[in-house]
Amino acid sequence: MPVSAPQGPPAWRGRLLGGPGRVPGVDVARGLAVLGMFAAHVGVTTGDWSEPSGWLSLAHGRSSILFATVAGLSLALVTGRDRPPEGDALVRARLRLVVRAACLLAVGALLDLLGTRVYLILGFYAVYFVLAVPVLRWPPRRLVRAAAVVAVVGPPLAFWGPEVLARAGLRLPRDGDGAVTHFLLTGHYPAVVWMAYVLVGLAIGRSAALTSAGPRTLLVLGGAAAFLLSSMLSTGLVEQAGGSDAVRQAVTATESRWVPEPHAWGDPWPPAEGQLLAGPHDDTLLEVVGSGGFAVMVVGLCLSVGRLGSRVLAPLAAVGSMALTVYTLQIVAIWRWDLLDATTNGPLAVMVLVALAAATAWRAALGRGPLERVVGGLADAAASIPRSGRVRGARPR
């Protein structure tokens, strides 16, 4: 009597868990970032920490920073992890990133046509990817040092740079011709600041944190310490400067973007006390350290989920594995049902549950998300084009 071969796990289970080589914790962190953006866009949040709405306020600013940090980590995963590519492989990796950036820019442009009041981030991510191309082979320590330089130099540039341009009689970006200035300096997610998060994520992906418990523990403890110390330092310094409301009013009163005509060179400038703030999208050194530390802590925790956690959190990882698709559909849903002015967190709960269920079902049945398939296919196709002057199979003379 023939003995039947042992049955392996069903195919859908392998797809749901991401398959070999996938790092579940990265998908979980990315999923948290996407759902955090749901909360930031649609959620009703307060400052009352005794209510769930108070805890939801953590999503403001930090979810997009977490997404940027995980984007850097993902760049490391698709470019060799701790062994960056060399030679032709490096050229192909860089070409893939440029094509992915172009796709993100195109998707962001289409979503912009919907006219929602959401500050879209995809175009900025496209710029981050392009700016990361030259540093793909940098070791972790060099990446961290570069992130520290960006964290120190970038915030003053983002704070006073647009004001210098306005007072010099130069027009701040209002259309596509100003896209580079907008993405780098004057936009909602300026690369002169936000590249710090991408570089830190890339450093984590190049380090031993993906495989060793010790480095992951350092990420959690170091990130938590940076978050708490930065928050306490900002609170204390801002109180000495007259309080958060007074500082923000002083900044607003001296910024040219809030008045019909730019301020003159001799008028009061945005006060340096504005650099003491650490709230969402303040883009100060203290926010970079604090919210960046929060993102690093979350990444460290997610990388520690292990085998059991990857199963329990499989729906969250499914959302993270198709973040571009879920983010895009979120913007479409906001546009279709005008969800930005919700008075309860009911719409947020529905969006989260639908996203978790739909992403889980899609990943179990088909694996890769729909937009991820398109973008990945285009990037792979571009990277497979023979280099100029060569024909596949031909021998060099």
Q: What is the DSSP string of 271-292?
A: PGGGGG--STT---HHHHHHHH
Tokens of 62: 């930090």
Q: What is the DSSP string of 370-385?
A: HHHHHHHHHHHHHHTS
Asked whether 385 and 378 are in contact (CB, 8 A), the reply is no
Quick one: which of 162, 139, 143, 140 has its CA closest to 151? Answer: 143
Place of tokens 């070409």: 95
Q: What is the DSSP string of 94-160?
A: HHHHHHHHHHHHHHHHHHHTT--SS---HHHHHHHHHHHGGGTT--HHHHHHHHHHHHHHHHHHHHH
Asked whether 78 and 113 are in contact (CB, 8 A), the reply is no
Tokens of 32: 């948290």
pLDDT at 16: 85
Q: Give me the average pLDDT of each 10-residue run along the chain (397 residues).
A: 56 82 92 97 88 90 97 96 93 96 97 96 97 97 98 98 96 88 97 98 96 95 98 97 97 94 96 97 98 98 84 95 98 96 94 98 95 96 69 42
pLDDT at 49: 83
What count of residues does the chain have? 397
pLDDT at 17: 80
Residue 230 neighbours by CB under 8 Å, 6+ apart: 278, 286, 287, 289, 290, 293
Asked whether 59 and 41 are in contact (CB, 8 A), the reply is no
User: pTM for this one?
Assistant: 0.94
| DSSP state, residue 356 | H
pLDDT at 385: 73
With both helix axes pointing from N to C terminus, report the angle between 346-366 and 314-321 in degrees, rounded to the nearest 10.
Answer: 80
Tokens of 325: 């698709």
Q: What is the DSSP string of 178-212?
A: GHHHIIIIISSS-HHHHHHHHHHHHHHHHSGGGT-
